[in-house]
């Protein structure tokens, strides 16, 4: 059964006095009139960073800052927000990408328990760490909130972690979807939403889009909000893709084709308008609704009430 775990952010860990380690290197649908874009409710925070379910765009983040800031922007602008999204990049599926669609990586010479980054100096120029300002926002979809954390680097910056592993970009990835860092030096791999290595090095995992096997006993147990995306993998940025928020109570029709979803709690998706036909209960982020039996997306959704 899909579950959205709600737990405090992983505790911030102070950087130790470990010696620096060398790193490996190499040379369109339209939204329903009753459905308007809706900011996701905050689903967790700490004194260091805030975690918000959904994407930067669905949360109306500043698109001139964070992952979308121009290269010339100062660090404090770039570090305002980071997006972590489960997606596909090249042959890596799933793998975590940032708000601009760039693949994120983990380093075998780091440690996850305790979290520790060993990529500094020239290494960090080749593999820029994914950093965030204290008080900055982390938007996440397709990743469990409890698996997102932060660690203090040797230079004092906060670096995001997935299941304890510090995450990085690769400076030879020139465009979204590139995976040129995969396997570099035998130590660098795309990071999966569960913190494991993406690709052939990864062990099989349960798909994030599996239907709920034990639906709520009655509709009163359902949630009251869902954000739907016209693209798979919570894509509301590329091409003509967009997101729309729908709130309860009761049954609401969905006009358009939406292929992924971030619910605020369990919701029941239906194949036909008016909450008719076949249905599936989802209570966690669904990367691909076609895999749940909705080739053209669900056509209605039931909330509590």
Q: Is residue 211 domain-resident?
A: no
pLDDT at 2 > cutoff 50: no
- My answer on whether 60 and 103 are in the same domain is yes
- Residue-wise pLDDT tens digits, 269-280: 999 999 999 999
Question: What is the average per-residue pLDDT within 239-249?
Answer: 95
Domain that holds residue 89: 42-201
- Residue-wise pLDDT tens digits, 68-105: 999 899 999 999 999 999 999 999 999 999 999 999 99
- My answer on whether 47 and 168 are in the same domain is yes
Exposed e or buried b per residue across 86-124, where buried means at least 16 C-beta atoms within 10 angstroms of its C-beta: bbbbeebbbbbbbbebbbbbbbbbbbbeebbbbbbeebb
Q: Is residue 188 domain-resident?
A: yes
- pLDDT at res. 160: 97
Q: pLDDT > 90: what percent of the chain?
A: 75
Rounded Cα–Cα distance for residues 78 and 100 (Å): 12
Q: Is residue 298 domain-resident?
A: yes
Q: Is residue 10 domain-resident?
A: no
- My answer on whether 172 and 83 are in the same domain is yes
Q: Among residues 138, 167, 201, which one ends one of the domains? A: 201
Rounded Cα–Cα distance for residues 82 and 80 (Å): 7
Report how far apart, in Å, the C-alpha atoms of 284 and of each of 40, 96, 141, 224 are: 14, 17, 9, 14
* Least confident residue range of 158-167, 206-215, 250-259: 206-215
Give me the number of domains the chain comprises.
Answer: 2
Radius of gyration of the chain measured on its C-alpha atoms: 19
Question: What is the average per-residue pLDDT within 29-51?
Answer: 48
């Amino acid at each position: 059964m899909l579950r959205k775990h709600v737990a405090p952010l992983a505790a911030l860990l102070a950087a130790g006095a470990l010696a620096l380690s060398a790193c490996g290197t190499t040379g369109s649908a339209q939204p329903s009139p009753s459905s308007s874009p809706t900011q996701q409710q905050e689903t967790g925070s700490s004194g260091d960073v805030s975690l918000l379910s959904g994407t930067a765009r669905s949360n109306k983040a500043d698109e001139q800052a964070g992952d979308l800031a121009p290269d010339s922007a100062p660090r404090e602008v770039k570090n305002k927000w980071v997006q972590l999204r489960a997606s596909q990049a090249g042959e890596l599926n799933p793998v975590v990408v940032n708000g601009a669609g760039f693949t994120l990586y983990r380093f075998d010479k780091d440690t996850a328990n305790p979290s520790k980054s060993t990529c500094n100096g020239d290494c960090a120029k080749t593999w820029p760490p994914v950093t965030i300002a204290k008080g900055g926002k982390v938007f996440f979809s397709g990743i469990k909130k409890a698996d997102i954390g932060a660690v203090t680097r040797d230079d004092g910056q906060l670096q995001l972690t997935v299941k304890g592993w510090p995450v990085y970009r690769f400076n030879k990835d020139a465009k979204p979807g590139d995976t040129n860092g995969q396997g570099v030096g035998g130590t660098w791999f795309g990071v999966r939403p569960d913190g494991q290595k993406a690709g052939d090095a990864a062990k099989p995992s349960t798909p994030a889009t599996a239907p709920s096997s034990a639906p709520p006993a009655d509709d009163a147990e359902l949630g009251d909000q869902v954000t739907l995306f016209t693209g798979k993998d919570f894509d509301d940025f590329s091409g003509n893709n967009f997101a729309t928020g729908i709130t309860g109570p009761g049954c609401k029709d969905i006009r358009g084709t939406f292929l992924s979803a971030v619910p605020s709690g369990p919701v029941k998706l239906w194949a036909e308008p008016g909450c008719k036909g076949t249905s599936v209960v989802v209570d966690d982020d669904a990367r691909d609704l076609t895999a749940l039996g909705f080739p053209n997306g669900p056509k209605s959704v039931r909330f509590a009430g």
